Amino acid sequence: MKVRVFDTTLRDGEQTPGVSLTPSDKLEIAKALDELGVDVIEAGSAITSKGEREGIKLITRENLNAEICSFVRPLTVDIDAAIECEVDSIHLVVPSSPIHIKYKLKKSEDEVLDLAVNAIEYAKDHGLIVELSAEDATRAELNFLIKLFKAGENLADRVCVCDTVGVLTPQKSEELFKKITSEIKLPVSVHCHNDFGMATANTCSAILGGAVQCHVTVNGIGERAGNAALEEVVTALKFLYNIETNIKLEKLYEVSRLVARLMKLPVPPNKAIVGDNAFAHEAGIHVDGLIKNTKTYEPISPEVVGNKRRIILGKHSGRKALIYKLKLMGIEASEEQINKIYEKIKELGDLGKYVSDADLMAIVKDVLGKDLEEKIELDELTVVSGNKITPIASVKLHYKGEDRLLIETAYGVGPVDAAINAVRKAISGVADIKLEEYKVEAIGGGTDAIIEVTVKLRKGVNTVEVKKADSDIIRASVNAVMEGINLLLQ
Ligand SMILES: CC(=O)SCCNC(=O)CCNC(=O)[C@H](O)C(C)(C)COP(=O)(O)OP(=O)(O)OC[C@H]1O[C@@H](n2cnc3c(N)ncnc32)[C@H](O)[C@@H]1OP(=O)(O)O
Ligand SMILES: CC(=O)C(=O)O
C-alpha cells in the first residue's frame, strides 16, 4: 500500500516567520505540488485573510487531482470560511495537551470534546472530508488523546497526531502510532515538527507504527525549525524502508527551487536530497571512488531526484578529480603539466579560496603556456531601465572565429535580466548554451558595495561556473556570462 502525502507547504510552510505568498504564488506552488503527485494540498487557513481566501479559491477552481484542504479551528467561523473557498476537506485542529487546553483555550477537556464533535458534525453537514487533528498530541495524556479520536471515530474521515513542538523520538513515535492505530479504526496521519532535527525520522517511524499519511512541507519549511521535509520523507521511505508514495521523485529539485524562490527562503547547500551539495564532491578520495563507481559515495543517483552531481576542485582534491575536470572541459595536458596545475590548486586552497572553473582555466592557461582563445568578445553593451520603461538591453559581440558581429536587443524583468537575455539571444546561432544558475552577493554594505555574481552555464554535458566581481551589477553579470560562454566554446 502507498503512503499518502499530505503537503502543508502552503499552510504550515507559509507560517515560516516573515513569509507570505500572494494568491497567484499560492496557485503556482499548488500546481507544481499537484504535478509532483501529492495526495492532499493544505492550501492555507481560510480564516486568515481575504488574500488567503482568494489564493485558496484560485486553487480549488483549478480542478487539480489532489484533495484541497483548509486548516480550521473547531469554530463555525473558520469552517464557514473554508466552505466559502469550496475546499474538499478541512484539517480540523483541536488542542489535546493539558497545557494547550488549560492555558491556551482556558477550557475543560469535556468542553474541548464538545467543540470537536460539534465542528465535525457541522463540517460533515456541509459535505466536507474531515481530518480530525490532535494538536500537541505528543504532550497529551494518552487516555484523553484516544478519547478525542474515539469521539470523532464515527464522524470524521481521518485522524492526525501532531508532534507540534517536535518532542517525539523515533522509538516513541513507532510505539505511539502502534497504540493509536490499534485503538482507532480511521486512517491515521502524522504531522511532525523539526525542533530537535528529528522530524523526518519520527515521521518514518510513525509510518512503521501504522500511520498511512504523512504531513510534510517542501524543503522542510514551517513554524520555528520547520516540518518534516517532503523530499526527505518520501526518499527515505522509498530507499531505506521500501515504502512507496505517489511522488514523482525526479521533480523534487525543481519544486524545491520554485518554493525557495517564491517564499524567498534559499535552500541551505547541505540540505538532504535537494541541497546543491547533496551530490557535490571535493575530497580526492571520494571523487576517485565516484569515478570508479558512483555508488561508492552516493546512496542514490542525483538524477533520481532531479538534482545534479557536482565535482568541485579545491584544497581537498586529488589528481583524478583534476584529470576528470580537464577532460570535461576538453583540455589535454601531460602528466608534468597536470602535476603543476594540481600544485597551484592546492596553493589556492591553502589561501582559503574556492577554485572555480574560471580559476582552473586561468591556471591551465598559465601552465600550458598557451592562450585559451576568447572566441566571442563583448564590444558594446547598452542597458536602459527606469520607472516608466520596460528594461531593455542591446549588445554588440564580436564572433572572432568567423569575424562577424552578433547584434541583438532584448527585454527583461530588470536591467540584468535584459542584458543577459540580449547576450543569450546574440549567441543563440553560435551555440546552444543554457544559463542554469545565477547568484549575486554584495561584498560590503553600502550602495557602492562590490557585487559578486556567480553563473553556471551548460553546453551539452559540459558545465562551467564563473564568478565575477564589479561595483556595477550589470557589468559583473554580463562579464561572468561572457567568460562562461568562452570557456564552453574552447
Ligand atoms: C500549530 C499550528 O500551526 S496552529 C495554526 C497556526 N495558524 C494560524 O495562526 C493561522 C493564521 N492566524 C490568523 O490569521 C489569526 O491568528 C486568526 C485569524 C486565526 C485569529 O485571529 P484573532 O481572532 O485575532 O485571534 P488571535 O490570533 O489573537 O488568538 C487566537 C485565538 O484562537 C484560539 N485558538 C487557537 N487555537 C485554537 C483551536 N485549535 N481551537 C479553538 N480555538 C483556538 C485561541 O485560544 C485565541 O482565542 P482567544 O482570543 O479566545 O484567547
Ligand atoms: C496542526 C499543526 O500545524 C501542528 O500541530 O503543528
For residues 200 and 344, membership in a common domain is answered with: no
Distance 401 CA to ligand 1 centre (A): 67
Nearest in space to 287 (alpha carbons), one of 236, 342, 368 = 342
Q: How many CB atoms lie within 10 A of CB 387?
A: 4
pLDDT tens column, 170-190: 999 999 999 999 999 999 999
For residues 287 and 139, membership in a common domain is answered with: no
The CB of 104 under 6 Å from ligand 1? The reply is: yes
Indicate which CATH number applies to the domain containing 359: 1.10.238
For residues 312 and 403, membership in a common domain is answered with: no
Contact 164, 226 (CB under 8 A): no
User: What pLDDT is stored for residue 368 in this prediction?
Assistant: 86
- Output the nine-digit C-alpha cell for 471: 561595483
Contact 448, 471 (CB under 8 A): yes
Give the pLDDT mean for 448-476.
86
Atom 19 of ligand 1: nearest residue by CA position: 48
- Output the nine-digit C-alpha cell for 428: 543563440
Residue 252 covered by a domain: yes
pLDDT surpasses 80 at 445: no
Distance 261 CA to ligand 1 centre (A): 28
Atom 3 of ligand 2: nearest residue by CA position: 12
Residue 460 covered by a domain: yes
Ligand located closest to 136 CA: 2
More confident residue, 79 or 325: 79
For residues 354 and 239, membership in a common domain is answered with: no
pLDDT tens column, 330-343: 788 999 999 999 99
For residues 319 and 205, membership in a common domain is answered with: no
For residues 418 and 298, membership in a common domain is answered with: no
The CB of 181 under 6 Å from ligand 1? The reply is: no
For residues 222 and 285, membership in a common domain is answered with: no
For residues 355 and 219, membership in a common domain is answered with: no
Main-chain dihedrals φ then ψ at residue 381, nearest 5 degrees: -140, 125
Residue range(s) defining the domain that contains residue 288:
280-368
Ligand located closest to 51 CA: 1
Q: How many domains does the chain have?
A: 3
Mean pLDDT of the chain: 94
User: What pLDDT is stored for residue 24 in this prediction?
Assistant: 97
For residues 435 and 476, membership in a common domain is answered with: yes
Distance 188 CA to ligand 2 centre (A): 15
pLDDT surpasses 90 at 401: no
Q: Ligand 1 pocket test: which of 6, 15, 101, 112 has the largest number of ligand atoms within 8 Å of its C-beta?
A: 15
pLDDT tens column, 82-115: 999 999 999 999 999 999 999 999 999 999 999 9
Measured in whole angstroms, the distance separating CA 380 from the mean position of its chain's CA atoms is: 38
For residues 77 and 136, membership in a common domain is answered with: yes
Distance 136 CA to ligand 1 centre (A): 15
Distance 105 CA to ligand 1 centre (A): 10
User: What pLDDT is stored for residue 345 in this prediction?
Assistant: 93
| Burial track 270-303 (b if 16+ CB lie within 10 A, e otherwise) | ebebbbbebbbbbbbebbbbbbeeeeeebebebe
State the complex-level ipTM.
0.96
Ligand 2 binding residues, C-beta < 6 A: 12, 93, 133, 135, 162, 164, 191, 193
Contact 135, 162 (CB under 8 A): yes
pTM for the predicted model, two decimal places: 0.86
Q: Ligand 1 pocket test: which of 50, 73, 165 has the largest number of ligand atoms within 8 Å of its C-beta?
A: 73
For residues 236 and 347, membership in a common domain is answered with: no
Residue 234 covered by a domain: yes
